[in-house]
Amino acid sequence: MGTKEKIVVKALEMFNERGIEYVGLRELAAVLGMRVSNITYYFPTKDDLVYAIAQELSRSNAAVIVERDRLTMRSFLEMMHQVFQNHVTFRCLLLSVVHLMAQNKYMAAAYQQTQNVRNATMRANLEILRASGYLTIQEEGELSFLVSALSLISRFWISEAAVSFREMSTEEQIDHYLTLVTNLLRPYCSSKAKKEMQEFLSDLQSKVLSHQEGAGKQG
Amino acid sequence: MGTKEKIVVKALEMFNERGIEYVGLRELAAVLGMRVSNITYYFPTKDDLVYAIAQELSRSNAAVIVERDRLTMRSFLEMMHQVFQNHVTFRCLLLSVVHLMAQNKYMAAAYQQTQNVRNATMRANLEILRASGYLTIQEEGELSFLVSALSLISRFWISEAAVSFREMSTEEQIDHYLTLVTNLLRPYCSSKAKKEMQEFLSDLQSKVLSHQEGAGKQG
DNA sequence: GCTGCATTTGGACAATGTCCAAACCAAAAG
DNA sequence: CTTTTGGTTTGGACATTGTCCAAATGCAGC
């Protein structure tokens, strides 16, 4: 692993723990056993370092794809689950989204485009679910509403969790917000969709419980 | 207006324009025609200054109340509207919520309590709307879902708008997110509620249009 | 062994929030 | 009118931050 990668990995770790703004380059350098200017050699600006991390998140999120003809309510929710887990892995970015966009025009542009793609994909997926008889969406307005709402949840669930559900474990947080997603979709769900949703939630919660037991054994 | 108030007023103005983190005390002092240490005399810490602003937001939000026996779907939405307008007035706080909470324990505690009160009030209001035949909520789960979803929207609509709908006017942004709120509630609405909702939205949008004309005449 | 280039280093810079002793100033006390 | 008092205001210091640059180091290829 080259120096550049080492920096990115350690930076992500520390940024996630304490927040991007509260980790100084000197501290990061000290942990890495190098000097500050060695970091600025690879990343002239702290923003460049953050941007490199952001690109990794993009890559991770791009990897979460289900073939169109295999999309079910269950696989849709599992996609959301994977995206949420990526958000946890890169939580420092999502917690600082507003500041990063305000400061760094380059990142703002890239983020904007990514989000446009994500929203279009979301819309397409919902349309597939309607065509497959999972969702009973009557009009365009309902579709845009679901896209908007899912986008808002997806972007900011981790921020709300950070300020309001700090005492909950990551698994519990994800469970909470995936439940929110299912409740949002429920009024538009066919009985087939509701059944898959219920199965998904039960499986999810049993995983959360087993995680808690695991944590209990450790502590 | 004493020095202390002058500082708070100007700070809010500048924080809203450029973000709390990007307005230095020296710049604020220069605009106010005083020295930095004069600010720190009244607010030993920048956080203290921010906290003073936060207390003003609390006061403004506490003023948004409708008597219980007069609560209708329309007045409920108008309450949301007023809250959203308060958020605009104090937008610097909402845009930095995550960082402020991470940094300042005192503010975190105060915010937490405020949010608990707000959620309880929201729940109570929704229950009144159900009792008055506006909402057809069947089970507890639906009620908690609506409270959670409304809380998330209320906290982060302005953050999403800041990164995604920057080109929209404030009125358009508020219109968009109030529409989101109504769409969220719609599946649980009686026909009476739907009618009031529709009236509210029409009035809102005609206001937005007149605002646009006004802006057009100015520019 | 020398050259050339990527890497690493130390030290500087301006800007930030915070702090403190001294100066200022207006009103009360003598 | 002078002195004292206590709330303001000031200038300058401090450590810390991100950024920058010239010099030193290390290493592969000739």
Structure confidence at residue B219 (pLDDT): 36
pLDDT, mean over chain A? 94
List pLDDT tens digits, range A74-102.
999 999 999 999 999 999 999 999 999 99
% of chain B at pLDDT higher than 90: 87
For residue A217, pLDDT beyond 80: no
Classify B166 as helix, strand or coil: coil
Structure confidence at residue A154 (pLDDT): 97
- By CA distance, what is B156's nearest residue in A? A156
For residue B31, pLDDT beyond 60: yes
**How far A10 CA lies from chain B's nearest CA (Å)?**
21
B44 touches strand C (CB under 7 A): yes
Which positions in chain A touch B162 (Cβ < 8 Å)?
A: 98, 101-102
The answer to whether A183 contacts B149, with C-beta atoms less than 8 Å apart, is yes
List pLDDT tens digits, range A165-214.
999 999 999 999 999 999 999 999 999 999 999 999 999 998 878 877 77
The answer to whether A152 contacts B180, with C-beta atoms less than 8 Å apart, is yes
- By CA distance, what is B159's nearest residue in A? A98
Mind giving me the DSSP string for chain A?
A: --HHHHHHHHHHHHHHHH-GGGS-HHHHHHHHTS-HHHHHHH-SSHHHHHHHHHHHHHHHHHT----GGG--HHHHHHHHHHHHHHHHHTHHHHHTHHHHHHH-HHHHHHHHHHHHHHHHHHHHHHHHHHHTTSB---SHHHHHHHHHHHHHHHHHHHHHHHHH-TTS-HHHHHHHHHHHHHHHHGGGB-HHHHHHHHHHHHHHHHHHHHHHHHHHHH-
| Contacts A–B by Cβ distance under 8 A | 97
List the single range of A210-214, B48-52, B207-211 with lowest mean pLDDT.
A210-214
Which of A98, A115, A180 has the most B C-beta neighbours within 10 Å, making it the best mutation to test the interface with B?
A98
The answer to whether A183 contacts B157, with C-beta atoms less than 8 Å apart, is no
For residue B18, pLDDT beyond 80: yes
The answer to whether A155 contacts B160, with C-beta atoms less than 8 Å apart, is yes
CA of A112 to C1' of C15 (A): 30
Point out the residue among A148, A160, A179 whose CB comes nearest to the CB of B156. Answer: A160
Strand C footprint nucleotides (protein C-beta < 7 Å): 7-12, 15-21
Which positions in chain A touch B54 (Cβ < 8 Å)?
A: none
Dihedrals phi, psi of A135, to nearest 5 degrees: -115, 135
B47, amino acid identity? D
For residue B218, pLDDT beyond 70: no
List pLDDT tens digits, range A132-144.
999 999 999 999 9
Confidence of residue A67 (pLDDT cuts 50, 70, 90): confident
Structure confidence at residue A219 (pLDDT): 35
